[in-house]
Structures are given as C-alpha cells and as structure tokens.
Copies of this chain bind each other. A is one copy, B any other.
Amino acid sequence: MSAVDYCAVRSLTEQLAAPLGPEDQTVQSMPDVSPTKWHRAHTTWFFETFLLEPNAPGYRPLNEAYRMLFNSYYEAVGPKHTRTERGLITRPGVEEVAAYRRHVDAAMLELVAGDLDPALADLLVLGCHHEQQHQELLVMDIKHVLSCNPLRPAYGTLPWAGVAPAEPGWIEHDGGIVEIGHAGAGFAFDNEGPRHEALLRPHRMATSLVTNGDWMAFIADGGYARPELWMSDGWATAQQVGWEGPLYWLRDGDSWQQFDLGGVAPVDPAEPVTHVSWYEADAYARWAGARLPTEAEWETAAPLPGEPGDWYGAVWQWTASPYNAYPGFQPSAGAVGEYNGKFMVNQQVLRGSARVTPPGHARRTYRNFFPAHARWAYAGFRLAV
C-alpha cells in the first residue's frame, strides 16, 4: 500500500465531513452514534497509537490527552473516554481536529516513505480499512443526528455513485459442502478467516433485494400488528418503541416520505428497503413464506464486488446467522486483536455493502454485524427459501 493510497483514504474522510459545520460535527444523538469530529480524530488516533508510537522513534504526540479521549474500546491501550459522553467534548474543536489529522498525516507520510516491514505494512492497510469503516459510520451517524432536528436539514450528496435495483429471480443451490471465508493474499479482517468448509442445504436465493414497495405491502397486510410473525424480543421492542415502518419513514396521510441525506422525499417503491432491524427483516421473511439466508449461503451465491446486481453498494443484508467465530478463528496479535473477536455474541451477521460504504471497501467474505434491534445502519435484506 502506497502513500498515495493512504492519502486517498484520509482525504475521503475529510471530503465526507466537508458539508458539515462545527455544530453538526460535535453532537452525539444516541449512545450508538459518534460525533463526526470524533470519527475524524479516532481514525487518526488509530494510526498514531498502533503505527507511529511503536515505530516512529522521533514522533511526538500533538496532545497527550488525545490518547484517552479518542480511544474507542481498546482496553489494552489504557483508559478511554466514556462512549456515551463523546458528545460532551466540545474541545478539541473541528479546527484542532483538522490540525491533529495533519500532524499525524505528516508523520505517517514520513513513516510510509521508507521500506515498511511486513507487520507494519499490514497495520497500515488495517488502519486504512478501519478508516473506511468509520467513513461509513460517519455518514450513518450524521444522518441520525440530522434526523433529530425538527427542521430535517439535508446533509448533501455522496461523492460516489449508487447501484440500480437488480432483476428479481432465484438462484438454485443443491446443497453440499462448500468453502467460505477468506484465505490467501489480499486484505481481510481477522473475523473473515480461516477459510473452512460449510455444509449447505438445498435452497433458493433471491437475486434481488426486498424493496420499499414490498415493505408497503407488508405494512398494509398488518405486518407490524401480527405477533405471530415476530420473534418475541422483536415484538416487544416494536411495541415498546412504537415501530410502524422503517427508521426515517414518515407517514404522510396514506403515503410515506422518508428522511435521507438529501432531506425529506417520497419513498421510492422500486428502491431496496433500508433501515430495518433484523427483527423486522425476519418477520417480513416469515410473512413472505421465506427465510433469511445464512451467511454461508450468501457468500456462496454472491458474485465478486464489481459484478452486476445489488449484492454490493445498495444495502447491507441481514442474514440468519448469529455472529460468532469461524472454526479455528484466531484474533490478531496485540491490541488490534480487540478489533472483531470480542463482539462475537448477541449480534447478527450482515453481508454485502451499502450505498454509504466507500468504494473499494466491499469483499465477498466481509462480515458486518449489528444487534438485532439496530436500525440506523443501512440494512436491508434478500430472501432465501
């Protein structure tokens, strides 16, 4: 990975933050959300902590306090600021965060200029992928922040193109042993390996995503009022919070509007449904006489990123698979080993990638994960039978 690649990733983060004022970048609208400027600083902290501090002998931190302030969850690194209080930190402000980024970038470019030993090269790649993840989170999170404002202000447009809806259809599979998971060259997170055998049952997989139009039919058929369609936890959550449609949908008489990055607009029935929880996806599948695919089925059916279809770049796709360790899974050594492994319970796997996933970040073996009730991610799904 070259300095140019590093710069491209770093630069995209700033590009995504550019439409946002200092006020926008400061607020945390719920515990799951982080402020924009926190994302900008934390991704910087990652390079500082895991690359510069151990490997750049003359490196001087810009501010010692950032070590604690911008640690997300790495217990091995030391104390960290309480996650739920990220929105209380008004300083460093956006200008100081920009300066922090420049400070680390300068040192990083110096470090990267030389020959990197392989472990360090791997960390560089990891840091860039980590930053790409936060690019997606940054957009997800600011959407939630802006949605809390009764004025419903717009974020703007993303600097990359979306994908068109795919043709409906089914892919048949006869079942049997397949191989899934990452192996060989190329980057992957530790949770994508080791590559291993999985046993599939005969099944069919949809070639297209469930759409907003499908979802309206589900609502019209009482989908949110029929407990027999729902997991018990999901039904309780839906009743308690008062779910009547996907997050960001706004009832407008008999039709639906939705709040999106560009502001409020009518729901397009042809687009894939987004911002539904696993509970809702699971209930919909039961209503449709189908089920969610397992992640092994998904990975077997999916093409590589870049090929036609809506497997990538539209919405993350909930699967039936709880998120856990692949057989033989070993976390990466050191503090970065906290990256994925310690979240392997109480979450469901999502596959593919979304409209807000930065280009180049998708992989067929990629395992995203969220709790079953989460709705602020760009999550939809496709069916299997």
Q: Which residues of A line the B interface, CB within 8 A?
A: 21-27, 29, 37, 65, 68-69, 73, 75-76, 81, 85, 87-91, 93-94, 145-146, 148-151, 153, 177, 196-199, 201, 227-228, 230-235, 278-279, 282, 320, 322, 324-325, 327-328, 338, 342-346, 348, 372
Contacts and interface: CB of A to CB of B under 8 A. Distances in A.
A85 B227 contact: no
Contacts of A234: 345
A91 B151 contact: yes
A68 B235 CA distance: 19
A372 B31 CA distance: 22
B198 A199 contact: yes
Nearest to A29: B88
A196 B199 CA distance: 11
A231 B342 contact: yes
Nearest to A81: B150
Given A90-B145, A91-B149, A93-B21, A322 B324 contact: yes
Contacts of A148: 85, 88-89
Nearest to A144: B88
A350 B125 CA distance: 40
A25 B94 CA distance: 13
A71 to B, nearest CB: 12
Contact of A23 (B94, B324, B344): B94
A27 B24 contact: no
A372 B347 CA distance: 12
Given A22-B23, A345-B372, 4 more contacts: A22-B22, A23-B25, A27-B27, A90-B149
A151 B231 contact: no
- Which of the listed residues A230, A233, A348 has the most CB atoms from chain B within 10 Å of its own CB? A233
A343 B232 contact: yes
Contacts of A279: 345
A324 B328 contact: no
29 contacts: A23-B26, A24-B91, A24-B93, A26-B26, A26-B27, A27-B27, A27-B90, A69-B150, A75-B227, A85-B148, A88-B145, A88-B149, A89-B149, A90-B145, A91-B153, A177-B199, A196-B201, A198-B199, A199-B199, A230-B342, A231-B343, A232-B342, A233-B343, A233-B345, A235-B342, A282-B345, A320-B324, A322-B322, A322-B324
B228 A75 contact: yes
A140 to B, nearest CB: 16
A150 B65 CA distance: 8
A278 B324 CA distance: 14
Nearest to A232: B342
A56 to B, nearest CB: 24
A345 B24 CA distance: 36
A362 B324 CA distance: 28
Contacts of A231: 342-345
A143 to B, nearest CB: 12
A93 B93 CA distance: 15
A338 B89 CA distance: 34
A235 B74 CA distance: 12
Top 4 A-B pairs ranked by shortest CB distance? Answer: A322-B322, A22-B22, A75-B227, A88-B148
A276 B380 CA distance: 36
A320 B148 CA distance: 39
